Amino acid sequence: MSASEASSLATIPESLKRALRDVLTKELTGTGASDIDIHPGADHDGDSIIIVEVKHSLVDKPIDVKEVISAERAARDLAWETGERRFVLVDHLYDEKQKVAGVR
C-alpha cells in the first residue's frame, strides 16, 4: 500500500461521521450516550479501521445489552451502505456505577 493510499484510508468523510453519530444517538436513546468521538485506527493486524468511542453518562435503568449490540450493527450497516469497507469498532465507555441488564 502506498503512502497516499494509507493516508486516504485514514480520512473519514465528515458526512459519514455525522451519519454514524445520528444513527448511534437514535439507537442508544436512554443509555446515557453523551459524546461520540470518531477517528481512524488500526486493528491488531495493522489494517485500517474506524473507531467510534461512545461515552455514556450514568442512567437509572440498567443498560440492555441487546440494544447496544443492535446499535453497533446499525452503525456498521450504515457505513457499509455508504461504500465504507473498513470495520467500524464501537467502544462504549460507561460510568463505573452503571448497571447492565441480564442477558436472556
Residue 102 has pLDDT above 80, yes or no: no
- Beta strand extents in the chain (DSSP E only): 33-42, 48-56, 87-93
Global confidence as pTM = 0.86
For residue 6, is pLDDT > 80? no
Write down the residue that cell numbers 459524546 correspond to: 35
Q: Which domains does the chain have, with CATH numbers?
A: 3-93 (3.30.70.1350)
CA dihedral of 36, 89, 81, 65, whole degrees rounded to 10 = -80
Q: Which pLDDT band holds residue 4 (cuts at 50, 70, 90)?
A: very low
52 forms bridges with which residues in the sheet? 38, 90
Mean per-residue pLDDT of the chain: 90
Coil, strand or helix: which one is 11? coil
Q: How many other C-beta atoms are found inside a 10 Å radius of the C-beta of residue 9?
A: 17
pLDDT digits (tens, 9 = 90+) for 55-86: 999 999 999 999 999 999 999 999 999 999 99
Q: What is the average per-residue pLDDT within 8-15?
A: 82
Instruction: Label residues 27-57 b or e (16+ Cβ within 10 Å = b).
Output: bbeebbbeebebeeeeeeeeebebbbebebe
